[in-house]
Structure 1
Amino acid sequence: MAEREVIVDKMRITYEGLFDVKEFYKFIDVWFREKGYDKKDVKNIEKVTPEGKYIELELEPWKKITDYAKNVIKLRIFMTDIKEVEVEQDNKKVKLNQGKVHMVFDAFLETDYENRWEMKPTFFFIKTIFDRFFYKPYTSGYQANVLNDVNQLAANVKAFLNLYRYSGISWSAPGTTFPKQ
């Protein structure tokens, strides 16, 4: 069985306000593709509640580094109270979504994901020795790479969501109030 070393454990981002759900999906998908990750959708749930839509996504994109190691990022996204609102931007009416976004990031370095070294007890012992003494400089570099990727993704998501917060949008829909910043 492949070994998963936890690099990032439950890094969280929360946001409440205006955003575009479709653009948010697209932004995350494009980011992973540009970084060379293969996307794996684990869970995709969408429910309509009296307060608005509830959307839950779980993605587990991975990037093969070598035949022995790969980066895995587990991303859980919970969107609650999602309502469609009409806003005015640059004298044009635009449909956006208003709601809450909660994201949880986990990152792993997965080694021996093809189970080549765990077939026999002797191989497992040799693998342990190699991991501890010979591969350590390589794996520490791989750990730094996946940590850097998660930090970049989190910073880019924050920047993406803040674009909607500070884009000069004025509300035109009657009966709606702008969320307090």
Structure 2
Amino acid sequence: MSEYKFVVEELRLAYEGLMNVPELYSMIDQYFREKQYDKREVRNFEQTTPDGKNIELEIQPYKKITDYAKLVIKIRMFFYGLQDVVVEKDGLKIKMQKGKVEMIFDSFLETDYEHRWEQKPTYFLIRTLFDKFIYKIYTTQFEKELEKETNHIHDMIKSFLNLQRY
């Protein structure tokens, strides 16, 4: 079984107002492509109500650092009461959405994701010793990188949403 070391837990972001949801999603997608993450979309749910659309998205971008460790950032996005509106900016009409969004960021370091060190009890013991004494330097470095990237995407999204104010 893989081991998960949580680095960032339940980092939240909430916003209410105008936003461009497709542009937000493409900005997130572009960020992870630039950082060489592979993206895995776990959940994509949309429901139309009289108040507007409710959308739930969960993505888990991951980056394989070595054959033993990989970085995973899990982003859960909840959009409530989204309604399409047309906003005029500098004489141009722009289609945007009005509503609430809540995002939850979790990130963790997953080790032995290929389950190579669990086939025999002696392998498991050796893996535990290596993790505690030899790989400790590397895993600490990976955790710092993961925390930095999670906070960076959180700040980018926060800035993007704050720029959408009209």
- TM-score normalized with structure 1 length: 0.90
Counterpart check, 1:51 vs 2:32: no
Once the two structures are superposed, residues 82-119 of structure 1 have per-residue CA deviations (whole angstroms, 9 ceiling, x without a partner) of 00111110012221110101000000000010011110
Counterpart check, 1:36 vs 2:10: no
Tell me which amino acid in the other structure corresponds to 1:55: I
Q: Which residue of 1 aligns with 2:18?
A: 18
Tell me which amino acid in the other structure corresponds to 2:146: V
Give 1:54-133 correspondences, 5 Å limit: 54-133=54-133
Q: What is the Cα deviation at residue 63 of structure 1?
A: 0.2
Segments of 5+ residues of structure 1 without an aligned counterpart are 170-181
Q: Secondary structure at the match of 1:66?
A: coil
Moved over 4 A (4+): none
Tell me which amino acid in the other structure corresponds to 2:149: D
Alpha-carbon RMSD across the aligned residues, in angstroms, is 0.7
Segments of 5+ residues of structure 2 without an aligned counterpart are none
C-alpha separation in 1, matches of 2:120 and 2:81: 52
Q: Which residue of 2 aligns with 1:177?
A: none
Q: In percent, how many aligned pairs have the same letter?
A: 52
- TM-score normalized with structure 2 length: 0.98
